[in-house]
Amino acid sequence: MTDRSDHCVYLYRAPTTQKIVYVGRGATPGRAVQHTGGSHNPGLSAIIDTGDYSVELAGPYLTPEAAAAVEAALISALRLPTSQAALTKLPRMATARGSGLSVCRRTTRTGCFCRR
């Protein structure tokens, strides 16, 4: 058994516009390129079909929860469109008024990485 983790976050970028079109996460870096064989996301599929894209990788993170939190933060900060199904998979966080800290809505703990 290894203590190394390969959980990562990746993004697809259209190099000519520098626009980030997709953010995802996976248990291994290989997940980042699996979309090139077909994607559930029509916008991403269109970019892949043009061949004009780059894939950027961040990580590794120690836990899948840490990768999920980074993914959620990127999607939120970049204001990327997402489906309702995808939203249910992201950690739900609320901002504590005036503190600038994120507080989990379920446990009310600051910085919680719970899934719901």
- pLDDT digits over 57-108, tens only? 999 999 999 999 999 899 888 887 654 444 445 444 444 444 444 444 544 4
Q: Does 32 or 102 have the greater pLDDT score? A: 32
Asked if the structure places residue 61 within a domain, the reply is yes
Asked if the structure places residue 2 within a domain, the reply is no
* Percent of the chain residues topping a pLDDT of 90: 27
- Could you tell me if 63 and 5 are in contact, meaning their C-beta atoms sit under 8 angstroms apart? yes
In this prediction, residue 19 carries a pLDDT of 87
In this prediction, residue 25 carries a pLDDT of 93
Question: The domain containing residue 72 runs over which residues?
Answer: 7-90
What is the three-class DSSP state of 61? strand
What is the average pLDDT across 9-26? 90
Asked if the structure places residue 43 within a domain, the reply is yes
Mean pLDDT of the chain: 74
Token match 């379920």: residue?
Answer: 106
Asked if the structure places residue 98 within a domain, the reply is no
Instruction: List, in sequence order, the alpha helices (H) in the chain.
Output: 31-34, 42-50, 64-78, 84-87
Structural tokens at position 23 = 């953010």
**Closest by alpha carbon to 12, among 61, 45, 60?**
45
Asked if the structure places residue 105 within a domain, the reply is no
Asked if the structure places residue 73 within a domain, the reply is yes
What is the CB neighbour count within 10 angstroms for residue 105?
Answer: 13
| CATH number (domain holding residue 11) | 3.40.1440
In this prediction, residue 5 carries a pLDDT of 75
**Closest by alpha carbon to 81, among 5, 10, 12, 21?**
21
Total domains in the fold of the chain: 1
What is the average pLDDT across 42-57? 88
In this prediction, residue 80 carries a pLDDT of 76
Report the Cα–Cα distance between both ends of the chain, in Å, rounded.
29
State the pTM of this model.
0.66
User: 94 vs 9, 99, 109, CA distance in Å?
Assistant: 22, 11, 10
